[in-house]
């Protein structure tokens, strides 16, 4: 029997130079498929608002939605660590964040929560960690800030913006974050952040130099509507079925062949 993935094990994987494989899931069946394929972390993402509920953004996703889908995923996963997003406006204060994180853990059986933001979230991260809640930060492109950003586009291209992102990453680590996701940044910055931090850094559109990779399940299966983002590879294109496509994604991340140059900025 294979031991379940834990937060300390993710840290040990970084120390050993082993790539960490992350993929989203929103129900029990896909959670079991991902688990069988060897995915290390299953992210119950607020992306469910777009790929499951059909919204244009992640913003309408509620805490109740996240709890429900996290609980569903927990029924199918046995080995992977379960990480759930704190959705938009569910963590305006450290206290509110703790209340909603507790729901995700107590009712949704999540083992880690993820929230967006840098230095403005340091107090919240520190407070959650003090309550024994593992936290994953999220920097770069922040989908919950889409109305401020105006578009889903590459972040931190300029030197000053890149320096701020690196500083934010270090601050989140100092506050106690156990993991960090960085989204849509130049590959050189993704590698720099991963090298500077002791905690694992998971990239999505952040180049091959990160400690691991994450994609939205529907995207890597070629099911996304509209133009496919540059950082996404359709693993179904060369697969016989969904299970083999997911195994191909796991292998590609493990061996470092994904993301390739064409998937990076």
d(CA 142, CA 252): 26
| Spatial CA neighbour of 11 closest among 144, 143, 168, 200 | 200
DSSP, residue by residue, 15-73: HHTPPEEEEE--SHHHHHHHHHHT-SEEEE-TTHHHHTT--SSSTT--HHHHHHHHHHH
Q: Regarding the domain delimited by 7-263, which CATH topology (the fold level of the hierarchy) does it fall under? A: TIM Barrel (3.20.20)
Domain ranges of the chain: 7-263
pLDDT value at residue 226: 76
Mean pLDDT in consecutive groups of 10 residues from the start of the chain, 265 residues: 90 98 98 98 97 96 98 97 98 98 98 98 98 98 92 94 98 98 98 98 98 97 86 96 98 98 95
Which pTM value belongs to this model? Answer: 0.97
- List Cβ neighbours of 31 (8 Å cut-off, separation of 6 or more): 25, 42, 72, 73, 74, 75, 76, 77, 80
**pLDDT reported for residue 1:** 60
183 is catalytic: yes
Catalytic residue among 183, 192, 238, 255: 183
Per-residue confidence (pLDDT) for residue 160, from 0 to 100? 97
- For residue 151, give Cα distances in angstroms to 114, 132, 141: 22, 35, 10
State pLDDT tens for residues 132-169.
999 999 999 999 999 988 888 999 999 999 999 999 99
What pLDDT is stored for residue 151 in this prediction? 86
> What was the pLDDT predicted at 150?
87
Q: What integer pLDDT is reported at residue 36 of this predicted model?
A: 97
Contact residues for 163 (Cβ-Cβ < 8 A; gap 6+): none
């Amino acid at each position: 029997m294979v031991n379940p993935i834990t937060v300390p094990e993710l840290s040990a994987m970084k120390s050993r130079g082993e790539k960490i494989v992350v993929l989203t899931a929103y129900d029990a069946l896909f959670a079991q498929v991902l688990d069988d394929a060897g995915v290390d972390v299953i992210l119950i993402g607020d992306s469910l608002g777009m790929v499951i509920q059909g919204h244009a953004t992640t913003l309408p996703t509620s805490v109740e939605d996240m709890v429900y889908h996290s609980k569903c995923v927990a029924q199918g996963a046995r080995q992977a660590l379960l990480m759930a997003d704190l959705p938009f406006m569910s963590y305006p204060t450290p206290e509110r964040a703790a209340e909603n994180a507790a729901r995700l853990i107590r009712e949704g059986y999540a083992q880690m929560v993820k929230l967006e933001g840098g230095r403005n979230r340091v107090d919240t991260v520190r407070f959650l960690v003090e309550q024994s809640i593992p936290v994953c930060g999220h920097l770069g492109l922040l989908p919950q800030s889409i109305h401020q950003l105006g578009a889903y586009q590459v972040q931190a291209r300029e030197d000053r913006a890149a320096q701020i992102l690196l500083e934010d990453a270090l601050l989140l680590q100092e506050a106690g974050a156990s993991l960090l996701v960085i989204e849509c940044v130049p590959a050189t910055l993704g590698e720099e952040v991963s090298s500077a931090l002791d905690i694992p850094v998971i990239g999505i559109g952040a180049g091959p130099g990160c400690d691991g990779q994450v994609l939205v399940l529907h995207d890597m299966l070629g099911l996304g509507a509209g133009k496919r983002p540059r950082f996404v590879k359709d693993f179904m294109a060369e697969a016989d079925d969904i299970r083999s496509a997911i195994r191909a994604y796991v292998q590609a991340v493990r061996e470092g062949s994904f993301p390739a140059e064409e998937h990076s900025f």
